[in-house]
Amino acid sequence: MLIEAKIGSIAKEGSELAVVGLFEEEKELTVAAALDSALGGRITDLLSWGDFRGTKGETSVVYPGANKVKRVLLVGLGKRAELDTERVRLASAAAARKAVSIGVTSYTTAVPEDGNRLKVEAAAQALAEGAILASYRTDLHRTEKEPHETKPLEKVLVLLDGSKARAAAEAGIRAGQAVASAVNWARDLANEPANYITPSALAEQARQMARESGLRCQVLGPEEMRRLGMGALLGVAQGSAQEARFIVVEYKPKGKAGAPLVLVGKGITFDSGGISLKPDQGMEMMKGDMAGAAAVLAAVKAIAALGLPRRVIGLLPATENLPSGTAYKPGDVLTSITGKTIEVISTDAEGRLILADALGYGQRFKPAAMIDLATLTGACVVALGNVGAGLFANNDDLASRVESASRESGEKVWRMPLWPEYAEQIKSDVADMKNTGGRPAGAITAALLLSKFAGDTPWVHLDIAGVSGAEKETALQPRGATGFGVRLLVQLVRDWR
Q: Read off the CATH number of the domain in which 44 is found.
A: 3.40.220.10
Please indicate, yes or no, whether residues 323 and 278 belong to a single structural domain of this protein. Answer: yes
Domain boundary among 135, 153, 181: 181
Does pLDDT of 31 surpass 80? Answer: no
DSSP code at position 232: H
Please indicate, yes or no, whether residues 173 and 218 belong to a single structural domain of this protein. Answer: no
Please indicate, yes or no, whether residues 93 and 206 belong to a single structural domain of this protein. Answer: no
Per-residue confidence at 399, pLDDT binned at 50, 70, 90?
A: very high
DSSP code at position 16: S
Does pLDDT of 148 surpass 60? Answer: no
Q: Give SS3 for 463.
A: strand
- Across the range 212-225, mean pLDDT stands at 99
Angle between helices 163-191 and 291-306 (to 10 degrees): 150
pLDDT at residue number 338: 99
What pLDDT digit, counting tens, does each position of 375-391 carry? 999 999 999 999 999 99
Structural domain range at position 266: 192-495
Per-residue confidence at 113, pLDDT binned at 50, 70, 90?
A: low
Per-residue confidence at 181, pLDDT binned at 50, 70, 90?
A: very high
CATH number of the structural domain spanning residue 487: 3.40.630.10
Report the percentage of the chain scoring pLDDT > 90.
86
Active-site residue among 98, 352, 452, 494? 352
Domain boundary among 181, 203, 225: 181
pLDDT at residue number 52: 93
Query: Which of 137-146, 274-283, 408-417, 429-438 is least confident?
Result: 137-146
Report d(CA 33, CA 39) in Å as an integer.
10
The question of whether 287 is a catalytic residue gets the answer no
The question of whether 155 is a catalytic residue gets the answer no
Phi and psi at residue 263, to the nearest 5°: -110, 130
Please indicate, yes or no, whether residues 162 and 223 belong to a single structural domain of this protein. Answer: no
Query: Which of 11-15, 170-174, 302-306 is least confident?
Result: 11-15
In a domain, 187, yes or no: no
- Across the range 350-366, mean pLDDT stands at 99
Helical (H) or strand (E) element with 88: helix 85-101
User: If you average pLDDT over every residue of the chain, what do you get?
Assistant: 95
Does pLDDT of 66 surpass 70? Answer: no
Phi and psi at residue 167, to the nearest 5°: -60, -45
Active-site residue among 278, 407, 412, 415? 278
pLDDT at residue number 14: 87
Please indicate, yes or no, whether residues 233 and 134 belong to a single structural domain of this protein. Answer: no
Does pLDDT of 105 surpass 60? Answer: yes
Cα atoms in the Cβ-side hemisphere of radius 13 Å centred on 439:
1
Specify whether the CB–CB gap between 161 and 42 falls below 8 A.
Answer: no
In a domain, 186, yes or no: no
Please indicate, yes or no, whether residues 254 and 116 belong to a single structural domain of this protein. Answer: no
Q: Which amino acid is at 109?
A: T
Please indicate, yes or no, whether residues 59 and 128 belong to a single structural domain of this protein. Answer: yes
pLDDT at residue number 115: 60
Helical (H) or strand (E) element with 270: strand 267-271
Per-residue confidence at 37, pLDDT binned at 50, 70, 90?
A: confident
Q: What total of structural domains would you count in the chain?
A: 2
Chain mean position to CA 475: 15
